[in-house]
Structure formats: structure tokens, C-alpha cells
Amino acid sequence: MDANGENVTIRYYNSGARSVRDVQFVLTEDIGLSGQSVLASFSARGILHPKQERVVVFPNTGRMNLNGNVEVEVKRVSFGDRPTWTAPRKNICKVLFTAR
């Protein structure tokens, strides 16, 4: 997130051997014993070739406060040759969100 809290920036990398055309990200917050709450969902579109990195910036339209225990989860990846990968429930692809 930028200093003003106006934008959310996500950096991602295609470590695979196939081109990616769409990645869906979900920001979640751990709310204790009751589980997780989805704060926002973002979709990055555009061809990302293997071994390349991309940075995408999304407006923080809901003025979310992303301090605390927030994670970025990759929910779905669509490949250039049309198949789609969805994260299995027991093997979620996520990292801790860090504000800068």
C-alpha cells in the first residue's frame, strides 16, 4: 500500500514454464477463531511470460486499513493456452501482506 493508503501494489512472478494471462488475488484478514474475512479481490490481466515479474497497482476504493494480519492469496491463475489453475483448499498459495 502506498503512504497515502490510496493504492494497493502487488508484485508477482511467473516461476512456471507456461505464459499466464490472468491472476486473481484475494486479500484476507485473520479474524481469530471465526476464520478469515475477505477484504478485497483483484484481478491482474495481461500476458506474463515464464520467469518474468510484474507489478500491478489497484486503487484502494474501499479505503481499507491493511495494517495487521492481512494476507495476499492467489486464488486462480489462467494460462495463455486457456487452462485454469485454482488453489486447492488444503494447499493455499498466500503470503503475508506488508504495508510500505
Closest to 66 in 3D by CA, of 22, 26, 13: 26
Q: What is the C-alpha to C-alpha distance for residues 81 and 54, in angstroms, rounded to an integer?
A: 19
User: Which three three-digit cell numbers place residue 29?
Assistant: 484478514
Tell me the residue ranges of DSSP E strands in the chain: 7-13, 20-30, 36-48, 53-59, 70-79, 84-86, 93-96
Mean pLDDT of the chain: 84
Q: What is the C-alpha to C-alpha distance for residues 47 and 22, in angstroms, rounded to an integer?
A: 7
* Amino acid in the structure at residue 82: R
Q: What is the C-alpha to C-alpha distance for residues 80 and 57, in angstroms, rounded to an integer?
A: 22
pLDDT digits over 12-53, tens only? 999 999 999 999 998 888 776 666 788 889 999 999 999 999
Is pLDDT of 100 > 80? no
Residue with cell string 486473481: 24
CATH class of the structural domain 7-96: mainly beta
Confidence at residue 29, expressed as pLDDT on a 0 to 100 scale:
81
> What residue segments make up the domains of the chain, in order of their start?
7-96
